[in-house]
Amino acid sequence: MRETTDTRTRIQEIALKLFTEQGYEATSLREIAEALGVTKAALYYHFKTKDDIIASLTEERQAMVERLVKWTQDQTPTVEARREFVRRYADELFGGHHQAFMRFMERNQTALRDHPKLGKMRDLMVAMVGFLSDEEDPPARRLRSSMALFALHAAMFVLSGDELTDEERKSAALQVAMELIEPRED
């Protein structure tokens, strides 16, 4: 079973790389198989379509976000709980292939705009943002709080050309995110 999981993960990684470099629509299953050094039939054993690959990647990311949202449901939304939530999200976001997935999403927005699996991700992001502020907070406070998550995302793109390690990017993003969730007078 481990070999199957490793092969599946390798397919996801190679596909993600090619989808990001060439574009989702411009990449074929044949090109993915060639980059992996396997036959198309071997690739079909794991994924029948490109859409199946994207669905599997989305499901992994979705499961991660669902775990975080579930965690928030057991928390009182204090400033410290919100900080812990942001730290947990940063740990997930800067681990695994979430960064590569986000780059892929950013570069293929048009092609994937109506993908059925991505609608649920949008709903989960709204739930995450909802934990960071209260409905009765002033609009500027709610916006500032939600920007904490976007600071984590932006670090991958804004700081990508810098000679920084992922840990340095994460640290900078967390610093900004924590400042954004600090209580302030609005």
pTM of the model: 0.77
* Predicted local distance difference test score (pLDDT) of residue 183: 66
| pLDDT for 98 beyond 70 | no
The answer to whether 20 and 104 are in contact (CB under 8 A) is yes
Of 33-37, 71-75, 126-130, the poorest mean pLDDT is in: 126-130
Phi-psi category of residue 137: left, alpha or beta, with phi > 0 → left and psi -120 to 50 → alpha: beta
pLDDT in tens, 8-43: 889 999 998 999 899 888 999 999 999 999 888 889
Residue 114 near residue 139, CB atoms below 8 Å: no
Residue 139 burial class via C-beta count within 10 angstroms: exposed 0-12, middle 13-18, buried 19 and up: exposed
